[in-house]
Structure 1
């Protein structure tokens, strides 16, 4: 199978985040086993989803991890020009959900495996494929926890998120949470007998807006756009009818933090404001949704130099989107982003990747193999 055949097979699996992924993980496991890789399936605590880890070469020698996620975002938008889980090729463009984010990278890595096997690697190349990245990097922490039992400490981790095949040394961290306020329902003609949860949420919403304005005043990191940490409310919901006192209101918010700032800590003022509502008879619940740390690989790191050689370009300092790379770095492994495609094409109808981008990624993986065989 060539890289495009593999991409066809991967996209055909509707591996939406939060759903069972046995089909796609099983197919990848069988493919890798057929080509002589050592494969380990790592079931997650959910019971119906697994990470996958594979090694080409020795396991007791430090090597490199190629990291990607098997899940995709939903494809329910009506604007798709063709079936989203079937690759449609028009010239250089390969359309389909996940082609860019990030089954194109998975296909390139898998297509390189037969060549890597022929090289008889002195240093291993590992494939670490995770689940549920798109809903807050929920799967990869379980994989990272198992690494000491699976391989020698790696020299570096290359996370293949779409970056136009230009390596990236940094990204912001993120934390998201859902705040629920419970009051007391009743007829709107007697507001004195109820507790309006939407009105109460206004205090928490105001705290979020104030915190967002404060963060825009710094501290700053010029590597990012915007160059400061941020906070926003993305969803607010509550109420049934205009003449019913709403007894419940929910608010989803997120913070994105520059390196050196704890993203979960940025949400603390909103949580603290919600806690004060208890004095007025309201109850509140704070549920973390997702969190991952920032990535900040030093400019002079050996992994950055390696990716400069493999890609032919100096790594970018940072991007605005987040990845699993920060979690690898937090666990003590140097990590960097480099993968095919453009993040601007992801998470929208008619997502696509260029055939030349996938081919370039496969060449990069094979060039890494040549380095590991030297």
Structure 2
């Protein structure tokens, strides 16, 4: 296997890889508008001789599926090609500054996708009888509702997937859960110069949030729960006491935490707050929840990584992925997900999003080695 791996690593072309990544970042592909980037990636794979299949997800939206080898793949490389919407970014195309490439989606996760495509281009240069049975799935919709991965799972059930979310090349066999909480408070509108005649829904909401914040669940130093008040908005009528306020809270839950227990805690605290906040009218909803998981590190995939990382001169670190990703969907469907990719989660979804190009090249080497060492039986 070492001779084959050396051959494949020699076939990895950093210049081709980095050019592909620049082209990908230069194509604006927010969730729902992924067709342009999928057409480009489809043509890239077809030029290398792949028979690329479009798996329909929605009208003018589709995943790309490509495979190698002699049998049904039990390992797929999975990457999402969509990004968040560039709401407040004046510039979101690619630019290089030294060892870094900047641009919307560079870390989340076009860097991982580019490395996966390059891994497949390198593996395709092997003779047919040396190509491992592996798959590549470039999916849509991860930043919204995961509909691309849902469509994939309706048809495919591999044993393992490797998802190229930005982990700094740390190997995440564990994954946080996710819970989205929505609160709506209602009041009574009146002219803002006469607040005593109305009921301010924003003030009620702030009191609710302060009360929730006193629960140990929201103690950042001890709880383990990672939360963020993502949105706080009120009725937009001018110069009035607002009669409605809406809040959304993101909660990222440690792998062993049951989202239902967190929901119950928040419900209980809200009911308590109604006894303390005068005339409180507040509704609570949980529109999305997903449980975390921990696969452990006793697996052929983990053992393969323990051999791969010293070979490329990198320390191997195991971690838990803190954000929500399609990994939760794959786990719930009975597929084992390893989240491992170039770039840093902390710069994703920010105006300063960037990725180290050397990590993208290293990711391509890791992906090819996993394909050969796990799916190839090495």
Structure 2: gaps spanning 5 or more residues: 1-14
Cα pair distance change 1:175/1:344, threshold 3 Å: same
Which range moves more in the overlay, 50-59 or 357-366? 50-59
Cα pair distance change 1:243/1:20, threshold 3 Å: closer
Given candidates 64, 70, 78, the residue that maps to 2:81 is: 70
Partner of 2:176: 172
- The answer on whether the counterparts of 1:44 and 1:51 sit within 8 Å (CA) in structure 2 is yes
- The answer on whether the counterparts of 1:195 and 1:282 sit within 8 Å (CA) in structure 2 is no
Cα pair distance change 1:228/1:34, threshold 3 Å: same
Which range moves more in the overlay, 30-39 or 155-164? 30-39
| Cα deviation 1:154-182 (Å, max 9, x = unaligned) | 23111112222231222311111332234
Task: Tell me, yes or no, if structure 1 residue 84 matches structure 2 residue 92.
Answer: yes
State the alpha-carbon separation in 2 of the partners of residues 131 and 333 from structure 1. Answer: 19
State the alpha-carbon separation in 1 of the partners of residues 95 and 253 from structure 2. Answer: 38
Cα pair distance change 1:298/1:9, threshold 3 Å: same
Given candidates 4, 18, 24, the residue that maps to 1:4 is: 18
- The answer on whether the counterparts of 2:257 and 2:291 sit within 8 Å (CA) in structure 1 is no
Partner-residue secondary structure (3-state), 1:126: strand
- The answer on whether the counterparts of 1:159 and 1:336 sit within 8 Å (CA) in structure 2 is yes
- The answer on whether the counterparts of 1:177 and 1:287 sit within 8 Å (CA) in structure 2 is yes
Given candidates 30, 42, 50, the residue that maps to 2:43 is: 30
State the alpha-carbon separation in 2 of the partners of residues 283 and 48 from structure 1. Answer: 40
Cα pair distance change 1:64/1:314, threshold 3 Å: same
TM-aligned CA deviation for residue 70 of structure 1: 0.7
- The answer on whether the counterparts of 1:233 and 1:254 sit within 8 Å (CA) in structure 2 is yes
Q: TM-score, structure 2 length as denominator? A: 0.79
- The answer on whether the counterparts of 2:217 and 2:223 sit within 8 Å (CA) in structure 1 is no
Given candidates 336, 339, 355, the residue that maps to 1:337 is: 339
Partner of 2:358: 356
Partner of 2:212: 208
Partner-residue secondary structure (3-state), 1:133: coil
Given candidates 315, 323, 326, the residue that maps to 2:325 is: 323
Q: TM-score, structure 1 length as denominator? A: 0.80
Partner of 2:27: 13
| Cα deviation 1:190-220 (Å, max 9, x = unaligned) | 6676454224434542453134x34549xxx
Partner of 2:114: 107
Partner of 1:117: 124
Partner of 1:156: 160
State the alpha-carbon separation in 1 of the partners of residues 217 and 347 from structure 2. Answer: 32
TM-aligned CA deviation for residue 59 of structure 1: 4.9
- The answer on whether the counterparts of 1:304 and 1:315 sit within 8 Å (CA) in structure 2 is no
Partner-residue secondary structure (3-state), 1:179: strand
- The answer on whether the counterparts of 1:167 and 1:308 sit within 8 Å (CA) in structure 2 is no
Cα pair distance change 1:95/1:196, threshold 3 Å: closer
Q: What root-mean-square deviation, in Å, do the aligned CA atoms of Structure 1 and Structure 2 show? A: 3.4
The size of the alignment, in residue pairs, is 353
Cα pair distance change 1:349/1:282, threshold 3 Å: closer
TM-aligned CA deviation for residue 129 of structure 1: 2.2
Cα pair distance change 1:301/1:249, threshold 3 Å: same
| Cα deviation 1:270-292 (Å, max 9, x = unaligned) | 45666897x9694747362x443
State the alpha-carbon separation in 2 of the partners of residues 127 and 55 from structure 1. Answer: 6
Partner of 1:286: 285
- The answer on whether the counterparts of 1:166 and 1:311 sit within 8 Å (CA) in structure 2 is no
State the alpha-carbon separation in 1 of the partners of residues 26 and 305 from structure 2. Answer: 31
